Structure formats: C-alpha cells, structure tokens
Structure 1
Amino acid sequence: MRFTYAETMTDPANYIPLAQAAETAGYTSMVIADSVAYPRDSDSTYPYTPDGSREFLDDKPFIEAFVLSAALAAATTTLRFTPFVLKLPIRPPVLVAKQAASVAALSGNRFGLGVGISPWPEDFEIMDVPFQKRGARMDECIDIVRGLTAGGYFEFQGKFYDIPPIKITPVPTEPIPILIGGHSEPALRRAAQRGDGWMHAGGDDLDRLLARLGELRTEYGTREDFEVHVISMDGFTVDGVKRLEDKGVTDVIVGFRLPYTREADTEPLDRKIANLERFAETVIAKSGN
C-alpha cells in the first residue's frame, strides 16, 4: 500500500514544509487541489458535501495546480504529486499536455495527472467552453494529453479538436499516469476504459464503487497495474489498510483536517506536521511499507 497526504485550502506558505515533512515521514505522494475561480452567483451544487453546499470554497486560497506541483517537486526529492482532480475539459488539452510533461520531466517522473469533469457550468462558461457534451470532450482531452506526452509527433481528429501533427519537448522518460476521478457511472467507465487508475473522493459507498469498477475493468481488459486511490476511514488503521489492500486499493489518501468548513484554516503548521508524522509512525510504519 502507498500513502498519499492531503492538505488543501490552507496558507500557501504551509505547502513546502508540509511536503518536505510528508516525504521525510514516508508518504509516497501528495495530492494538489484544483480551482480556477469562485463564481459569486451560482445555482450549482457541490457533489461531495451532504447538502450540496459550495460556500465553504469562498475566499479559500488555491495555488494553480501545475505551479504548486512544480514548486513542491523542486523542494523535494522522492515525493510524487497528483492533482485531485484537474478540471480537464475546461482547459485546452494541448496546453495541459505541455504543462504536465514539463512538470513530470523537471521532477524526474514524480507527477501523476488526476483529472475530472467540473460539476459547475460556471467553470465552463468562464473558460469559454460549452458545458454540453462535456463527457465526450473529456474523452478527447485524455487521448490528446496521453498522445502528446508520450513523445514524437501526434495528430488528432475528433468532434471537438482537430490537431495537426505536432510534438512537445521535453517529455518525461516514463508515461504520466492519468487517473480519472468521479463516482458516476460514466466516470467509472471512463477510468476503466481510458485511465491508468481511478481516484475516489470519499463517502460510504466505496464497496459498491469498487465492485462496479471491477466489472468495468473486466469488460475493458484494464491493465494489471491499474491504480486505485481512495479516501476511507479504513485508511487510518493498520487493520483497515489490510482490508483495503484485499479490495484492490493501491493508494490511500489521508488528511487530518475537515476542509468543508466556511472558516479559514487556523491550524498551526507545527500541529499539521505532528499529525502527519503521528500517522506515519502508527500506520505507515506498521503496514509493511
């Protein structure tokens, strides 16, 4: 089992010392939150809060995901970084490919690309991208990013993008894992069909989602080294980690603060570091990793 540290919407000055502390403590990776802008007016709901409230995001600091990943990679030597998740279809896929390849090349292949579809029409509107057919657009974006980051000339003709033969340089020496986030049937199918892994955002229905993902992986003949990243209370005990391993989970995402609150994060940095170190001592060190 690999362990991923999660901290978001905190003072940006905390990120580098937290990443360095997580690396020293034995974590494999750190997830990076993504948000482009916060709309003042919106009827949209947030899918991962019980009441659909989105107000907890107002005035919270988000460093751009590729910028933060590069900064943290420069301050560490072994820790991996994965956006959790990048709102891919609102962005130009060629630019995403260039950004992802650059971070992966500079970091020595320590970058994975977690991607998903924004639940907010406003994200599409402000980026001048149609909200309709966003799933099909997402599929083309994934194919373009994978093709361009593999190296060599790549061309693409689809319903949304028509790209002549181009290449980007540099590209990393290893493929960038593309991990698909989301709990819906289309998201699970997309992960099994196009992804190198799946990212789970928490909740009580993990067993159902894993079972369905397993069915879809069988249907599409998913690669054996498919990654399964989950948030689960089982991830906080040694016995629970073993249960997750038995279910095919490869990576546990753990955080030590509830981010879905309207209040600003006032937890001191030294307490954050103590929390991640305590988990490393009581769970990571005793889980055979």
Structure 2
Amino acid sequence: MRFTYAEAMTDPSYYVPLAQAAEAAGYSSITVADSIAYPEESDSTYPYTPDGNREFLEDKPFVEAFVLSAAILAATTTLRVTPFVVKLPIRPPVLVAKQAASLAALSGNRFGFGVGISPWPDDFEIMGVPFAGRGARMDECVDIVRGLCAGGYFEFHGEYYDLPPIKITPVPTEPLPILIGGHSEPALRRAARRGDGWMHAGGDPAELDRLLARLDTLRTEYDTRKDFEIHVISLDGFTVDGVKRLEDKGVTDVIVGFRNPYTTEHDTESLDTKISNLSRFAERVIAATNG
C-alpha cells in the first residue's frame, strides 16, 4: 500500500518543508489542490460538503497547482506529487500537456496527474469556456494530454479541439499516469475507459464500496483490466487493520490528512504540529503496514 499526505489551504510557505518531511517519513506522494479564483457572488454548491456550502474556500490560499507541484518536486527526490484534482476542461489542453510533461520529465516521472471536471459554472465562465458540453470536452482534453505526453507527432480532430500534427519536447520516459476524480457515473466511466486510475474524495464507507464495485464492473465492460491506481480517502486508512481491508478491496493508495479543511476558519496549526502529526502516523501505520 502507498500513502499520500494531503494538505491544502494552509500557509503557502509550509508546503515544501511538509513535502520533505512526508518524504522522510515514508509517504509515497503528496496532494496539491486546485482553485483558480473565488467569485464574489455565486449560487454554486460544493458537492463534497453535507450542505453544499462553499464559503470555507473564501480567502483561503491556493498556490497555482502546476507552480506548487514544480516547487515540491524540485525540493524532493522520491516523493510523487499528485494534484487532487486539476480542473482540466477549463484549461487549454495543449498547454496543460506541456506543463504536465515538463513536470514529469524534470522530476524523473514523479508526477501523477489527477484531473477532474469543476462542478462550478463560475470556473468555466471566468476562463472563457462554455459550461455546456463539459463532459465531452473533458474527454477530449484527457485524450490530447495523453497523446502529446506520449511523445512523437500527435494530431486530434474532435468536437471541441482540432489539432494538426504537433509534438512537445521533453516528455517523460514513462507514460504519464492520468488519474480521474469524481463520484458520478460519468466520472467513473471516464476513469474506467480513459484513466490510469481513480481518485475518491471521501464519504460514507458503504458508498465507497458501491463506487469500487461499479468501477470494477466498468473496467470489465471497457476491457481495461490493466494496472490501475485507486486513491481513496477513508477512516480505514488510519489503522493497520483498516488499511488491510482497503487493500483487499483493490485500493492502491490511501490519502490521509490530519485536520478538517472544510471550515471557514483559517488554518492556525503550526508547521511543527503538522510535521509531528504526519510523522506519528507514519510510525504507527505506514511502518507497520509496509515494514
């Protein structure tokens, strides 16, 4: 089992030392959150809070995902960086492919590209991208990023994007893992059909079992029974026995964090406290699981 340390909306100066501490403690990866901007007025809701409230995001610091990924990768040697998740269809896919390929190439293939669809029309509006057709646009973006990151000339002719034969250099020496986030049926289908893995955003344990079963069915349907990463947030991830249960369900990566980010209060935990929390978990669970 691999373990990913999750931290977001904290003091930006903490990320590099936290990544270095996580690497030293035995974590395999760290997540990077994505947010472009916060609208002054919006009727959008957040899908992963009980009441849909998104006000906890206001005035919280988000370093741009690719910039933060580069800083962490430059400061570590073995730690993987996994955006959780980059809102892909609001961005130009050729530029995204260039960014992702550059990060993976410079870091020795330590960039796992977590992507998803933003649930908010606001994100599409401020980026000048239509909200309608976002699912099909997302599919085309995934195909373009994968095709360009593979190296050589690549062309694409779809409903939303039309590319002549082009190539980017450098590209990673191994295929870029594209991990699809989301709990909806379209997201699960996208992960099974186009992804190298799936990223779970937490919730009820019974719902996780349903999602995993559905994902397994879809992977059989699409005949994509290849190596597949399953990244999960679960209370089971905090005990050795629980990790074994997740492993038995096919989970490959457990995502753990040590505070609730869904609060309107700003994070006041010290860097030392955060490092102590991640280190204590590593000693108690990671070492016992993988030792």
> With structure 1 as the length reference, what TM-score do the two structures score?
0.99
Offset at residue 184 of structure 1 (A) = 0.2
Correspondence for 1:217: 219
Offset at residue 220 of structure 1 (A) = 0.8
Q: Deviations over 1:143-167 (max 9, x none)?
A: 0000000000000000000001000
* 3-state secondary structure, aligned to 1:110: coil
Q: CA RMSD in A?
A: 0.6
- In 1, the alpha carbon distance for the partners of 2:99 and 2:290 equals 35
From 236, 247, 250, give the equivalent of 1:248. 250
- In 2, the alpha carbon distance for the partners of 1:9 and 1:223 equals 36
Runs of 4+ in 1 over 4 A off after TM superposition: none
Q: What pairs with 1:105-184 in structure 2 (closer than 5 Å)?
A: 105-184=105-184
Unaligned 5+ segments in structure 2 are none
Matching residue's letter, 1:184: S
Offset at residue 223 of structure 1 (A) = 3.5
Q: Deviations over 1:74-125 (max 9, x none)?
A: 0000000011000000000000000000111111100011000000001000
Identity fraction in percent? 82
Q: What pairs with 1:1-150 in structure 2 (closer than 5 Å)?
A: 1-150=1-150
From 247, 258, 261, give the equivalent of 1:259. 261
- In 1, the alpha carbon distance for the partners of 2:163 and 2:220 equals 32
Unaligned 5+ segments in structure 1 are none
Matching of residue 230 in structure 1 with residue 255 in structure 2: no
* 3-state secondary structure, aligned to 1:119: coil
Q: What pairs with 1:197-212 in structure 2 (closer than 5 Å)?
A: 197-204=197-204, 205-212=207-214
Offset at residue 49 of structure 1 (A) = 0.3
Q: Deviations over 1:236-272 (max 9, x none)?
A: 0000000000000000000001000000100000000
* 3-state secondary structure, aligned to 2:231: strand
Matching of residue 186 in structure 1 with residue 186 in structure 2: yes
Offset at residue 221 of structure 1 (A) = 1.4
Count of matched residue positions in the alignment of Structure 1 and Structure 2: 289
Offset at residue 224 of structure 1 (A) = 2.8
Matching residue's letter, 1:4: T
- In 2, the alpha carbon distance for the partners of 1:3 and 1:227 equals 12
- In 2, the alpha carbon distance for the partners of 1:127 and 1:162 equals 19
Matching residue's letter, 1:25: A
* 3-state secondary structure, aligned to 2:289: coil
Matching residue's letter, 1:222: T
- In 2, the alpha carbon distance for the partners of 1:216 and 1:207 equals 14
Offset at residue 38 of structure 1 (A) = 0.5
Matching residue's letter, 2:117: I
Offset at residue 222 of structure 1 (A) = 1.6
